[in-house]
Structure 1
Amino acid sequence: MENTSSNRVLITGGCGYFGYRLASALHKKGAKVILFDTAPPRQEGPEDIVFVRGDIRDYAQVEGAVSAGVDCVFHIASYGMSGREQLDRQLIEAVNVQGTQNILKACVEHGVSRLVYTSTFNVVFGGQVIENGDESLPYLPLHLHPDHYSRTKSLAEMAVLEADGTALRGSSGALRTCALRPAGIYGPGEQRHLPRIVGYIESGIFRFVYGDPKSLVEFVHVDNLVTAHQLAAEALTPEKRHRSGGQAYFISDGRPANNFEFFRPLVEGLGYRFPKLRLPISLIYFFAFLTEMIHHLVGPFYNFQPLLTRTEVYKTGVTHYFSMEKARAELDYEPQGHNLDEVVQWFRSRGHGKKRPSSLSSRFFLDILFVSALIAVALSFLPVVGS
């Protein structure tokens, strides 16, 4: 892998879980790292990792960070991936589309030669079955995306890849760009998805699974994703003949699994029973649709966390997995084997895990609540008498 000792890199969203892991890995290899984010990192790190507070929607702030002699930008910052964030259309558009345009403009204006963009599987996936898909798949038509995050990430990725080869102002060089499309990220300390899942487990909400038990999805361990980003940046250099320039790559652990079976070790590792009840995905999708409609009505007054959104239902319950062959051939990417043992240990070290049986009264209340919700959703399918 490339010696980064002379590199100055900027990481947008660098104080988030993945961004900081990437920063730490690059710093360890000798790179000078600048973190650009709206809030400082939660954990303490090397003093010479520079934090620049800023908002990607503000070009002046972006320009101020990029102009510090940056050689490579890792553009990770985004908004709207999951939960109630998915329902804030205006902010999603501003961060994912306008923010990316700001990064591209600043790179060209200030002579940044490399840009690695963190994209998503969702640029080609919108609920249809995909088995061992590859990068020849076309973008999902924008109007078919059921959520704003996926649509805006598609627009941003298109802009990034189209910018490959753009002449740099005041230089004979050109901006080289590529995009990585990761699966769902996991690892010890992940702060977006895993705490929400553990919260559902510990509160007793995780009482059922849904969809075809043979459905397959993918995940990527944070360390594999860090490696992929370093390899992608290296492949943009003249020494590698810019071979990743203008290219997109699917990145995962390369081990498709049923979504719920993947998390079984986490559930059981924390001392809980894995649910036996399996519901049809159509019922859960409709429940998510109703939840989104309710959020649309009451969200301005009470911005509650939806149990599931429609996008989360099909991302977890519909088969979609991709080939790593292009990443292997062009980036020399070879995912390492990982499991959830370290995730279980991380949560247990912070006091999570079943400590005592639930009281009869609380279990009875949860059962009544769960059954009532199912009945309400089922009745909503019935036609109104006299209509």
Structure 2
Amino acid sequence: MKSYLVVGGCGFLGRYIVEALLARGEKKVHIFDIRKSFEDDRVTFHIGDIRKLEDLERACKGIDTVFHTASPTHGMGYDLYYSVNVTGTEMLVKACQNSGVAQLVYTSSSSVVFNGADIVNGDETLPYVGQHLDPYNKTKELGERAVLDVATNDPNSKLAVCAIRPAGIFGPRDVQGWPQFLIAAKEGKNKFMFGTGKNLCDWTYIDNVVHGHLLAADKMVPGSKINGQAYFITNDEPIPFWNMPIYAYEAFGYEKPKFKIPFAVMYYIALLIDFFVALLKPIKTIHPTITLFRMVYTNATRYFNINKAKRDLGYKPIVSVQEGMDRTRDWFKINYSQFINKK
């Protein structure tokens, strides 16, 4: 029976991967994380720093498959992103190689190919971009390169690697998208829509992202066509970006936006805010709600062709966007309504 290590297994995606492994009967499931956030007697926990090789090697001992889901959330500084997403990933690759791990599945981002321009039916032939709009996706690209380079630079390596590029993850226990929507509505910010609201994008339900990761691990071996490849994973049903926040607003009794602010106006406001944030950085670190990246991201058309994942991994979504939104709504109503009402 294979043994699994989920790096970042106490986080949003990582914990879902752990639960999926346990649900299908896996008996050797390990978690590596900087802290322990839940209890489960079926799991072996390893607490450590992803930037420290010795911590990782202890956790990788006797492991067959590693899922690397660890990353700071959006809105942090470049130095932190680089130390975890790049240095930490490089350390994990070394630990896997030194420990005889057979497989490493890296959680990347669909935005490693996004520079602000519309992406219509984009696929894996899209190149990395020359200039990223935010440090998170820049460092996710560098981390992806560090993983995939194993296959490129050492075709005979015993470590098989691939990257999964999810687009717009959402679902129960989400700590970014839905909480931000609902807190914004609580603060009266749901009255405004930036742009036309017609731009299509991919939202991907958490169970589908997990499904893509497990398929990659189940099918990938050294020498296979999956080794060294990146795969976009989506729900394969792009919808207007604002459908998701509006659904969240209305599910909690808030009105949908009444006013549309032209994208050009918000673009220059965000540009100005970014300028002052950078100017004040030596004195004070600020995490504004409005940033240039968020304005561009929420107004661009961004959806992807997942034929490669269908062909190589046998992937297809197992939960629709609508069912995923309904499940997310129900979970937040039970678990987060009190939290939201206090904001």
Q: Same fold (TM over 0.5)?
A: yes
Per-residue deviation at 1:129? 1.0
Out of 97-106 and 285-294, give the one that drifted further. Answer: 285-294
* Equivalent of 2:187 in 195, 203, 206: 203
Mapped to 1, the partners of 2:154 and 2:244 lie a distance apart of: 45
CA contact (8 A) 1:108 1:167 kept: no
For residues 97 and 154 of structure 2, the distance between their equivalents in structure 1, rounded to whole angstroms, comes to 7
Does the aligned pair in 2 maintain the 1:12–1:37 contact within 8 Å?
Answer: yes
Match of 1:254 in 2: 236
Q: Deviations over 1:138-191 (max 9, x none)?
A: 1112xx1121111111111112111027769xxx96111000100111111211
Partner of 1:231: 215
Please say if 1:115 is aligned against 2:104: yes
CA distance in 1, matches of 2:276, 2:191: 23
Residue 75 of structure 1: how far off its partner (Å):
0.8
Q: Equivalents in 2 of 1:135, 1:350: separation in Å?
A: 37
Aligned positions of 1:84-99 closer than 5 A:
85=76, 88-99=77-88
Q: TM-score, length-normalised on structure 2?
A: 0.92
Q: 1:61 aligns with which of 51, 55, 63?
A: 55
Aligned to 2:162: 178
Residue 339 (structure 1) aligned to one of 307, 310, 324: 324
What is the alpha-carbon distance in structure 2 between the residues aligned to residue 299 and residue 207 of structure 1?
31
Separation of aligned partners in 1, 2:328 and 2:281: 33
Give the aligned partner of residue 45 of structure 2. 51
The aligned counterpart of 2:33 is 37
Unmatched segments (≥5 aa) in structure 1? 1-5, 357-387
Give yes or no for the alignment of 1:316 onto 2:308.
no
In structure 1, distance between residues paired with 2:311 and 2:194 = 36
5+ unaligned residues in a row in structure 2: which ranges?
none
Aligned residue identity for 1:279: I
CA distance in 1, matches of 2:59, 2:6: 10
> Is 1:330 aligned to 2:312, yes or no?
yes
CA contact (8 A) 1:167 1:175 kept: no
In 2, the alpha carbon distance for the partners of 1:17 and 1:100 equals: 18
Higher alpha-carbon deviation: 288-297 or 253-262? 288-297
- 1:70 has 2:59 as partner: no
> 1:114 and 1:36, CA in 2 relative to 1: closer, same or farther beyond 3 A?
same
Asked whether the equivalents of residues 200 and 301 of structure 2 are also in contact (C-alpha less than 8 Å), the reply is: yes
Distance 1:23 1:180 in 2: 17
Superposed CA deviations along residues 288-320 of structure 1, whole A, max 9, x for unmatched, are: 222223333445555443112221222211001
Measured in 2, the distance between the counterparts of 1:297 and 1:136 equals 37
User: What is residue 95 of structure 2 aligned with on the other side?
Assistant: 106
Q: Would you say 1:134 and 2:126 are equivalent positions?
A: no
Q: Distance in 1 between the 2:154 and 2:86 partners?
A: 21
Give deviations 1:19-41, integer Å, cap 9, x for gaps: 00100111222331111111112
Deviations 1:312-341 (A, max 9, x none): 222211001101111111101010213312
Aligned equivalent of 2:334: 349
Alpha-carbon displacement from aligned partner over 1:69-89 (angstroms, at most 9, x marks no partner): 01011111123x523x1xx11
The corresponding residue for 1:162 is 149
Percent of aligned positions that are identical = 37
In terms of Rg, which structure is larger? 1
Taking only aligned residues, the RMSD between alpha carbons, in angstroms, comes to 2.2
TM-score normalised over the length of structure 1: 0.82
Offset from partner CA, 1:240-295 (integer Å, 9 cap, x none): x6231111110111111111122222110100100121111122222222222333
For the pair 1:280 / 2:262, whether they are aligned, the reply is yes
1:146 aligns with 2:137: no
- Contact kept? 2:5, 2:31, Cα under 8 Å: yes
Q: Cα–Cα, structure 1 residues 138 and 294, in superposed 2: closer, same or farther, change >3 Å? A: same
Q: Alpha carbons of 1:348 and 1:293: their partners in 2 closer, same or farther (altered >3 Å)?
A: same
Match of 1:219 among 203, 211, 216: 203
Amino acid at match of 2:305: S
What's the secondary structure of 2:82's corresponding residue? helix
